């Protein structure tokens, strides 16, 4: 039987690549639900092509346009964040691909887990913000959370057949982004255009900026802590400019496993969609002769402070990762709008972490309050610059 999928964030980088996987294996998948926040033109195009049961546009102002465009189809049309959060619960969905960016992915993921849906998780912020609650919910509802991020997919693949063997340590690899080897003075002058020019990966604006600032790797470290039940000192980040080794697991006998391949997000997306099977693909193959040297470097956290801030939040625990994430989302948004500089993003995040209220054992409501509070504080800090 075909897997019936819902793609939350179908017009983004992960969402569109997930649909490429559907195209390549149209006999294995049916598109049941598509959602987007604002890109209505592409959502309409996708809806007409894949004929899903339902589509949802987050921006309510665009509901009429979407409804009129699809009035001659059988697709149901909804709008608003609440609709996105509720649509994941319909009985016809087998797997939910959470490709929304940021905190907005939390509630739909919670609802999908409560409804017993398998999760292909591309929204790392869900585990960053509320990893303790999400992992408990998944266990209670017997739901699998399959990682889509290339690094976490790599760890997951390395653990196949090894789940009874304790992990000693993992290495999350980072390309180093466009500013590898640069100093703080260089970063002070970085432009929006420069920061969006990633050397290896094609991603959305927010994730690309996070990659350039190394915050993406910090968020991934927190995500890995929850996905694989690790302590912060078991997670290390290493710069690997070629992006061929996607991550590494070291076991207690000193053996190490690495998952490798060309930097192509369709590979981990397809693996999450097809697990436990591997479907044949026509994705480009790696050739050792094209990469005679694979190199690794230590991250300079004095330059890329965001990684250190993420580890501070992870070690502090409680709602601190939620505060970190909220401040970062505000900082990135203001950098993209050219209201603050590249280095100033770290200043905003650090000051927000110092000022926001700390909760040691937060509830889901506490996370929502902390998110709102941290965003407000970050905006106030930026307004005073």
pLDDT tens digits for 177-232? 889 999 999 999 999 999 998 776 666 788 899 999 999 999 999 999 999 999 99
Pairing verdict, β 167-174 and 245-251: antiparallel
Among 209, 369, 213, 107, residue whose Cα is nearest residue 377? 369
Q: Residue 73 and residue 283: Cα distance in Å, rounded?
A: 33
Burial 38-67 (b: 16+ CB within 10 A, else e): ebbebbbebbeebebbbbbbbbeebbeebb
CB atoms inside a 10 Å sphere around CB 361: 9
- Whether 329 and 100 have beta carbons less than 8 Å apart is answered as no
| Assigned token pair, 215 | 């915050």
Name residues whose C-beta falls within 8 Å of residue 363's C-beta, 6 or more positions apart in sequence: 133
Mind giving me the DSSP string for 183-227? -HHHHHT--HHHHT--SS----HHHHHHHHHTHHHHHHHHHHHHH
Per-residue model confidence (pLDDT) at position 198: 75
CB atoms inside a 10 Å sphere around CB 359: 16
Q: What is the pTM of this model?
A: 0.93
The per-residue pLDDT of the chain, averaged, comes to: 95
Per-residue model confidence (pLDDT) at position 200: 66
Domains defined along the chain, listed by start: 3-147 (3.40.50.720)
Per-residue pLDDT tens listing for the chain (385 residues) = 799 999 999 999 999 999 999 999 999 999 999 999 999 999 999 999 999 999 999 999 999 999 999 999 999 999 999 999 999 999 999 999 999 988 889 999 999 999 999 999 998 889 999 999 999 999 999 999 999 999 999 999 999 999 899 999 999 999 988 899 999 999 999 999 999 987 766 667 888 999 999 999 999 999 999 999 999 999 999 999 999 999 999 999 999 999 999 999 999 999 999 999 999 999 999 999 999 999 999 999 999 999 999 999 999 999 999 999 999 999 999 999 999 999 999 999 999 999 999 999 999 999 999 999 999 999 999 998 7
Residue 179 is classified by DSSP as G
Q: Residue 119 and residue 14: Cα distance in Å, rounded?
A: 14
DSSP element (H, E) containing 173: strand 167-174
- Whether 215 and 335 have beta carbons less than 8 Å apart is answered as no
- Whether 265 and 242 have beta carbons less than 8 Å apart is answered as no
pLDDT digits (tens, 9 = 90+) for 133-173: 999 999 999 999 999 999 999 999 999 999 899 999 999 99
| Assigned token pair, 280 | 């044949």
Per-residue model confidence (pLDDT) at position 202: 64
| Ranges of H-type helices in 301-343 | 305-316, 320-336
Q: How far is CA 57 from CA 8, 34, 107, 159, 254, in A?
A: 10, 9, 16, 37, 49
The three-state secondary structure class of 24 is: helix
Burial 170-179 (b: 16+ CB within 10 A, else e): bbbbbbbbbb
Burial (0-12, 13-18, 19+ Cβ within 10 Å), 94: middle
Taking phi over 0 as left and psi of -120 to 50 as alpha, with beta for the rest, 261 belongs to: left
Q: Residue 270 and residue 95: Cα distance in Å, rounded?
A: 13
Query: Which residue do the tokens 């192509």 mark?
Result: 264
| Assigned token pair, 159 | 């653990």
Q: Residue 216 and residue 22: Cα distance in Å, rounded?
A: 27
CB atoms inside a 10 Å sphere around CB 366: 18
Burial (0-12, 13-18, 19+ Cβ within 10 Å), 68: exposed
Q: For the chain, how many residues are written?
A: 385
Q: In degrees rounded to 5, what are phi and psi of residue 91?
A: -65, -25
Residue 132 is classified by DSSP as H
């Amino acid at each position: 039987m075909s897997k019936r999928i819902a793609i939350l964030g179908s017009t983004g980088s992960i969402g569109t690549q997930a649909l490429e996987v559907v195209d390549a294996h149209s006999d294995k998948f049916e598109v049941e639900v598509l959602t987007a926040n604002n890109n209505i033109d592409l959502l309409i195009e996708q809806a007409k092509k894949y004929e899903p049961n339902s589509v949802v546009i987050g921006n309510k102002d665009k509901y009429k346009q979407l409804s009129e465009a699809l009035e001659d189809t059988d697709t149901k049309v909804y709008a608003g964040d609440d609709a996105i959060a509720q649509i994941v619960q319909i009985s016809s969905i087998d797997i939910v691909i959470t490709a929304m960016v940021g905190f907005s992915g939390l509630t739909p993921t919670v609802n999908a887990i409560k409804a017993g849906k398998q999760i292909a998780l591309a929204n790392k912020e869900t585990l960053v913000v509320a990893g303790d609650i999400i992992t408990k919910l998944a266990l209670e509802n017997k739901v699998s959370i399959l990682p889509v991020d290339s690094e976490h997919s790599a760890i997951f693949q390395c653990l196949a057949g090894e789940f009874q063997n304790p992990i000693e340590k993992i290495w999350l690899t980072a390309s180093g982004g466009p500013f590898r080897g640069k100093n703080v003075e260089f970063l002070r002058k970085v432009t929006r255009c420069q920061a969006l020019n990633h050397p290896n990966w094609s991603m959305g604006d927010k994730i690309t900026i996070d990659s350039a600032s190394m915050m993406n790797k910090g968020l991934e470290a927190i995500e890995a802590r929850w996905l694989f039940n690790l302590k912060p000192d078991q997670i290390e980040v290493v710069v690997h400019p070629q992006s061929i080794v996607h991550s590494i697991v070291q076991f207690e006998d000193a053996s190490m496993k690495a998952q490798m391949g060309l930097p192509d997000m369709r590979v981990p997306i397809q693996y999450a969609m097809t697990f436990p099977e591997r479907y044949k693909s026509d994705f480009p193959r790696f050739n050792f002769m094209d990469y005679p040297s694979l190199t690794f470097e230590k991250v300079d956290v004095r330059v890329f402070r965001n990684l250190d801030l993420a580890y501070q939040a992870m070690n502090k625990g409680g709602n601190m990762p939620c505060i970190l994430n909220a401040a970062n989302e505000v900082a990135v948004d203001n950098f993209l709008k050219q209201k603050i500089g590249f280095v100033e993003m770290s200043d905003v995040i650090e000051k927000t972490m110092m000022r926001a209220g700390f909760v040691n054992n937060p509830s889901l409501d506490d996370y929502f309050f902390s998110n709102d509070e941290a965003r407000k504080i970050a905006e106030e800090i930026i307004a005073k610059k």
